[in-house]
Amino acid sequence: MRSNQYYQRLALIKKAALYVLLILAAVPFVFPFWWMMTSSLKSPSQIFAYPPRLLPETWHWENFVEVFTYQPFARQYFNSLYIAVLVTIGTLIVASLAGYAFARIPFPGRTFLFILVLSGLMMPSEVTIIPNFFFMKELGLTNSHFPLIVIPIFGAPAVVGTFMMRQFFISIPDEIEDAARIDGASRFSMFWQIAFPIARPVLGGLAILTFLASWNLFLDPFVNLDDIELWTLPHSLRNYVDPYGTPLWHLQMAATTLSVIPVLIIYVIAQEQIIDSFATSGVK
Amino acid sequence: MTTSSQMTHLDSVKARNGSPSHSSMKRRDALWGYAFVSPQVLGFLVFVLGPLIAVVVFSLQDRNLLFGNSGFVGFENYRTMFTTDPLFKKVMVNSLVFTLLLTPLNVATSLALALLLSRGLRGQKIFRLLYFAPVVTSAAAWAIVWRFLLQGEQGAVNQMLALIGINGPNWLFEEHWAMVSVVVTRVIKNLGLNMVILLAAATNVPDEYEEAAVVDGANSWQILWHILLPQLIPSLLFVSIITVIGSLRVFDHILLLTGGGPGNSTMVLVYYVYYQAFQFFEIGYASALAVILFVVALILTVIQWALRSRLGTE
């Protein structure tokens, strides 16, 4: 009969092995961020130094200055930011209105319209990019931010939002609106003053998902925008090249660091809610 | 629904107070309904359904951005795809390889990590934070950093390998390694999402199942294999299919890592759509490709929904 001590020792070893596994597994997730940040402080000659150094020899903060002078990076940063904000606000409004109506307002054709809109979930936006581009071209709106704001608000990405809001609004008990209804409140004030405020947690989750989707959007800006002043971050990051087209890695890493750090900070602070939003949106 | 009984009660209240009739109130309410859904519905028609119809129409035309629209050519584009376009076959094979490599790797690794994290270890929140971090990062940033890391001789990955005496390949510029690099980096980026879903499912398995098994003398492996995994099958199927569908759309990652190369060995279908449309301006042909992409996505999504309703949702 093996002793208690043996089993305790075994459990300890198993635990240690578990931690080792988890730490080793974490390397490919963490190392890119580390290397990105430290490389942004290296000089071009240090960047590929061998043997590789985990920390820069000298810290070249001027790389971050050069990021802004090489191209209108501040402008591009701002572009990404304000577009994401507009898309988020717009999506929240469209999705909560539609979700509320689909959930709580009886009207003829409601089910049909809902299923119709739901089919948008099956449509990868990559499929519709060609006609959408043409449409924008006809309107003379290609080299502008218009398609980057309007299409996500109404298009396939927002349908997820409508679905989420509908799910939520279905779940609130009828009694909440009864009092207002009996008092003769209009449908709009029932929505605006009662249902909408209650939806704050779901709206928060949707806001996070929508903001990140817009912030990270690459295809639409890439296809539509010509002027460098109008570019958004994903596009601008890879523009740090020398006249021969060779990447200026230290600048690319510095710019990428600047674009990633704010998101990471918010992510660390609000990790519970962020991870939750992603998880629940996936499990539609 | 309780709505109708509320309406009746409300009816009597309104009738007592001499208010407008039930049906006109219902009509007003319905108008609100239409008003509320109109932004979403109209937007859908203009930016989703309309373009879809347009894509199908374009695919039947010989339309080139530079040379204009030569008009209706029936299934010519589709015929070209399957007969005279050598690149199409390569693209489809690449897409298949990409998805078939990515999905099992992604699902298996996220399952393993989810199971490791479901043990109730201290500090597991930190690990979850780390594994999920690439999910919130932009695909562009992730791809750009990995392009830097995977440089031939000088990239950090090969330098690290050289330290232990391994001569790493030119990851992004050698035919088969490029595909491997694209797949693995993409898996690392997104598996946090699947891991979180599977973790939620794993922690939802009632403890009693495991406890009963322990009482019966089962060891860890038996518990895993006979108790946990069967409970996780619905989630595993779900996660697998959304991964497959997601893999159809991977464009920016590949563009920024390999540009579809070397020699088009990493060009997948969605990339090929972009390639034909915006580099060759062959709108008609590109639209036909987009239709194929759509059909594949549609079939998979239908399967996903069917699976979900048969196995029940979370």
For position A104, which CATH number holds? 1.10.3720.10
On whether residue A237 sits in a domain, the answer given is: yes
On whether residue A154 sits in a domain, the answer given is: yes
Chain B interface disruption, residue of A117, A128, A130, most B CBs within 10 A: A130
| Overall average pLDDT of the A138-156 stretch | 88
- The predicted-structure confidence for A74-91, as pLDDT tens digits, reads as follows 999 999 999 999 999 999
Q: Which residues have CB under 8 Å from A133's CB, separation 6+? A: A142, A147, A223, A224
What's the rounded Cα separation, in Å, for the pair B86 and B1?
Answer: 58
What's the rounded Cα separation, in Å, for the pair B253 and B270?
Answer: 12
Return the amino acid letter for B214.
V
User: Domain total for chain A?
Assistant: 1
Nearest by CB: A282 against B242, B249, B278: B242
Residue B1: the pLDDT is: 46
Q: Whole domain around residue A161: which residue ranges? A: 64-282
The answer to whether A95 contacts chain B (CB < 8 Å) is yes
CB B226 within 8 A of CB A208: no
Contacts of B294 in chain A (CB under 8 A): 123-124, 127
The answer to whether A185 contacts chain B (CB < 8 Å) is no
Greatest extent of chain A over all pairs of C-alpha atoms, in Å: 83
Question: A5 to chain B, minimum CA–CA distance in Å?
Answer: 18
Closest C-alpha to A258, from A83, A74, A82, A88: A74
| Helix intervals (H) in chain A | 4-39, 44-47, 62-70, 73-104, 110-118, 125-138, 146-154, 156-171, 175-182, 187-189, 196-198, 200-215, 219-224, 233-237, 249-269, 271-282
pTM summary value: 0.87
| Overall average pLDDT of the A246-275 stretch | 91
- The predicted-structure confidence for A95-105, as pLDDT tens digits, reads as follows 999 999 999 88
Nearest by CB: A18 against B121, B144, B145: B121
Least confident of A40-49, A181-190, B233-242: A181-190
On whether residue A163 sits in a domain, the answer given is: yes
Q: Structure tokens of A158?
A: 């927002």
The answer to whether A102 contacts chain B (CB < 8 Å) is yes
Residue A253: the pLDDT is: 94
How far from B295 is each of A132, B289, B299, B302, CA to CA, in Å?
Answer: 19, 10, 6, 11
Q: Which residues have CB under 8 Å from A227's CB, separation 6+? A: A143
Contacts of A263 in chain B (CB under 8 A): 136-138
Residue B64 bridge partners (DSSP): B68, B282
Q: What is the ipTM of this complex?
A: 0.89
Q: Which residues have CB under 8 Å from B47's CB, separation 6+? A: A128, A132, A150, A151, A154, A155
- Our CA angle for B18, B19, B21, nearest 5°, is 110
Q: With CB atoms and an 8 Å threshold, state whether B117 touches A22.
A: yes
Q: How many residues does chain B have?
A: 314
Residue-level pLDDT, tens digit, chain B, 314 residues: 445 555 555 555 555 555 556 788 888 888 888 999 999 999 999 999 999 999 999 999 888 877 777 788 888 889 989 998 999 999 999 999 999 999 999 999 999 999 889 887 888 889 999 999 999 999 999 999 999 999 988 889 999 888 888 888 999 999 899 999 999 999 999 999 999 999 988 888 887 877 787 777 777 777 777 778 888 888 898 899 889 999 999 999 999 999 988 989 999 999 999 999 988 888 899 999 999 999 998 888 888 878 777 765 44
Residue B12: the pLDDT is: 59
Question: A206 to chain B, minimum CA–CA distance in Å?
Answer: 14
Q: With CB atoms and an 8 Å threshold, state whether B28 touches A187.
A: yes
Contacts of A259 in chain B (CB under 8 A): 138, 141
Checking if the pLDDT of A122 tops 80, the result is: no
User: Nearest chain B Cα to A17, which residue?
Assistant: B116
Q: With CB atoms and an 8 Å threshold, state whether A132 touches B3.
A: no
Q: Which residues have CB under 8 Å from A17's CB, separation 6+? A: none
Q: Which of residues 125-184 of A touch B (CB under 8 A)?
A: 126-132, 134-135, 150-151, 153-156, 158-159, 162, 174, 178, 181-182, 184
Q: With CB atoms and an 8 Å threshold, state whether B36 touches A191.
A: yes
Q: With CB atoms and an 8 Å threshold, state whether A127 touches B52.
A: yes
| Helix intervals (H) in chain B | 2-16, 22-44, 50-59, 76-82, 86-117, 124-136, 139-149, 156-163, 175-203, 207-215, 220-222, 229-247, 252-257, 269-278, 283-311
Nearest by CB: A28 against B188, B200, B249: B188
Chain B interface disruption, residue of A126, A132, A214, most B CBs within 10 A: A126
Nearest by CB: A238 against B151, B155, B256: B256
Contacts of A149 in chain B (CB under 8 A): none
| Overall average pLDDT of the A175-194 stretch | 81
The answer to whether A268 contacts chain B (CB < 8 Å) is yes
What's the rounded Cα separation, in Å, for the pair A28 and B131?
Answer: 9
On whether residue A31 sits in a domain, the answer given is: no
On whether residue A113 sits in a domain, the answer given is: yes
Q: Which domains does chain B have, with CATH numbers?
A: 20-76 (no CATH), 80-311 (1.10.3720.10)
User: Nearest chain B Cα to A224, which residue?
Assistant: B278
On whether residue A6 sits in a domain, the answer given is: no
On whether residue A153 sits in a domain, the answer given is: yes
Question: B84 to chain A, minimum CA–CA distance in Å?
Answer: 23
CB B262 within 8 A of CB B90: no
Q: Which of residues 56-85 of A touch B (CB under 8 A)?
A: none
On whether residue A21 sits in a domain, the answer given is: no
Checking if the pLDDT of A266 tops 60, the result is: yes
Q: With CB atoms and an 8 Å threshold, state whether A51 touches B193.
A: no
What percentage of chain A exceeds 90 in pLDDT?
A: 40
